[in-house]
Structure 1
Amino acid sequence: MAEIERDPVTDRETTGHEWNGIKELDTPVPRGVLMFLIVTHIWAIAWWFLVPAWPLGTTYTRGLLGVDQRTTVEAQVAEGQQQRSAWTTKLETEPYDEILADESLMRTVRDTGRQLFGDNCAACHGRDGKGSKNYPDLTDDDWLWGGGPEMIEQTMRVGINTAHPESRIGQMPAFGRDDMLDRDQVRNVAAYVYSLSHSDYSTADNIDRIDAGREVFLTTCAACHGEDGAGNREVGAPNLTDGHWLYGGDLDTIIATVHGGRQGHMPTWEKRLSNADIRTLALYVHDLGTEQP
């Protein structure tokens, strides 16, 4: 029989292995570690039976408790909707003037609307609603179709230049590209339009071009923009006299607009957002355009 060797310090048996003069002790796994491993294995096996765990082709084991993350989330959403119903019902049913007069409800609109706007509108209009070139500023109280909550709601529902049967249609013809106006007429009418918001441009050097442009404007552009250039919200024609420009108000950009035309796009949100969300956003956007600095 082989002689059992013991460590002189701990009096534990050795395994007989030695590395560089260091002998390995035959030390058992601590009982606490063994208990932990046993308990965790039992817990894992029990959990397999209690909750969904194993895929089975087109289905999975449902678990004895009948709970999963999907049902948990659905319950949380239902609870959240129940908590929101107190004020969403008011938003869906009360007239806008009553909502605007209810400061408590408007605080909710501002808080909720900010999140909705950030999730759905900020990509084009910016998180602050100030827009950018080719995307309108929603804070300047300058509107193509009107800035009341009712009009904003309608614009959101049907969109602009969309497939919706009631879509708002807004298009600037390509007068130069499509040969409706010749080169000089395009430059003349652009000069006239530029002068409407830049009075200092009407000088002796430019007056003949401006006068010629006015004649083109009256016969070609006034039907939409009005004879005074102040626009027409019935057809979404912008005011050309106020200095607010969607695509840019410098002379070169106006020439490019008259020559090549413009056609913006606003998606329809009728089937993407709930009625309460649309009305919340309409109030929030209206509020952006009427906030005092």
Structure 2
Amino acid sequence: MSDKYVDELSGVETTGHEWDGVRELNNPMPRWWVWTFYATILWAVGYAIAYPSIPLLTKASNGLLGFSSRADLTQEVETAKSAQTMYVDQIAAKTVGEIDADANLRQFAISGGASAFKVNCVPCHGSGATGGPGFPNLNDDDWLWGGDLEAIQKTIAHGVRFDGDSDTHVSEMPAFTDVLDAAQTRNVAAYVWSLTKTPSDMEMANAAGKQTFLDNCAACHGEDGKGSIDMGAPNLADAIWLKGEGEEAIVRQISMPKHGMMPAWSARLGETTVKELTVFVHSLGGGK
């Protein structure tokens, strides 16, 4: 520390501080800046009094103006719901076919269905509804239980193999380990693979494999392998594989079949949301 003195070059008194021979000039802040600073302090105090901002034990102060962003948001949501009531009531009263035929209702249902899909269906079917291993792609033309509006609505409403709904879709592929030996299983797997791809042994597929298929699998999948919507039997001739692709995967499915389960959504979401989901899924392009 050193005594204050007036700087010879600027004529300004120093603060008395010195660092390695460098002294600090005592230049006060401009008055306009100081008064602006004081004004911001007054503004902050006034704002804290007028609006809810002072933290208390269990909540913040209400403020003299009684403003509440939560109340404003609630009002905006109620206003939006009131504007939607007309469409929601119409969707509740009409069939999915009638909704799909009305351009305005269809667009509203698709928007609502898209929102419901993101919350409830994405974990299994994916954000783009393309599915994944064991979960159906909703964009293609492969529908186990039918791809028209009424069929999609029933599947969403009642689910698949869902114990909590008596109207759920029910079908199970039996394990053929007690019916087919290892050779027959490989033969029929080669034949099934030959419906869309080149099998490991074409002669085996065309001879023993085809006959084994007709004797054991055609009852559900049809003689042409194109499946049955009534039984939920997949089309084996469209190159779309839900449980795995390739002869080895087919062998595993014949021997130890995997069965998926989809919950029934009507009780949880309500019929109106189910209709919106139906129209949305149908709009993806794969619906019939």
The one-character-per-residue Cα deviations of 1:120-168 (angstroms, maximum 9, x if unpaired) are 4345434443434422222333211222223322322333344533443
**Structure 2 CA distance for partners of 1:236 and 1:215, relative to 1, 3 Å:** closer
Question: Secondary structure of 2:217's match?
Answer: helix
Percentage identity across aligned positions? 34
**Structure 2 CA distance for partners of 1:9 and 1:198, relative to 1, 3 Å:** closer
Q: 1:111 Cα deviation (Å)?
A: 4.9
Q: 2 CA distance for matches of 1:141 and 1:155? A: 16
Structure 1-normalised TM-score?
0.75
2:79 is the alignment partner of 1:74: no
Question: Secondary structure of 2:16's match?
Answer: strand
Residue number among 239, 249, 252 corresponding to 1:253 in the alignment = 249
> 1:111-122, aligned counterparts within 5 Å?
111=111, 113-114=113-114, 116-118=116-118, 120-122=120-122
Q: 2 CA distance for matches of 1:231 and 1:79? A: 49
Name stretches of at least 5 consecutive residues in structure 1 with no aligned partner: none
- Whichever residue aligns with residue 236 of structure 2, its letter is L
Q: 1:208 Cα deviation (Å)?
A: 2.8
> 1:104-253, aligned counterparts within 5 Å?
104-111=104-111, 113-114=113-114, 116-118=116-118, 120-166=120-166, 167-176=168-177, 179=178, 181-194=180-193, 197-198=195-196, 204-206=203-205, 207-217=207-217, 222=219, 224-225=220-221, 229-248=225-244, 250-253=246-249
Q: Identify which range, 160-169 or 73-82, moves more after superposition.
A: 160-169
Q: 1 CA distance for matches of 2:72 and 2:228? A: 52
Structure 2-normalised TM-score?
0.76
2:40 is the alignment partner of 1:40: yes
Q: Is the 8 A contact 1:130 1:139 kept in 2?
A: yes
Q: 1:261 Cα deviation (Å)?
A: 0.7
Residue 283 of structure 2 corresponds to which residue in structure 1? Answer: 287
> 1:16-95, aligned counterparts within 5 Å?
16-49=16-49, 50-56=51-57, 59-64=58-63, 65-95=65-95
Q: 1 CA distance for matches of 2:9 and 2:29? A: 19
**Structure 2 CA distance for partners of 1:17 and 1:190, relative to 1, 3 Å:** closer
- Whichever residue aligns with residue 175 of structure 1, its letter is F
Q: Identify which range, 236-245 or 278-287, moves more after superposition.
A: 236-245
Q: Is the 8 A contact 2:16 2:24 kept in 1?
A: yes
Q: 1 CA distance for matches of 2:28 and 2:4? A: 17
Q: 1:234 Cα deviation (Å)?
A: 3.5
Q: 1:18 Cα deviation (Å)?
A: 3.7
Question: Secondary structure of 1:60's match?
Answer: coil
In the alignment of these two chains, the number of paired residues is: 281
CA RMSD of aligned residues (A): 3.6
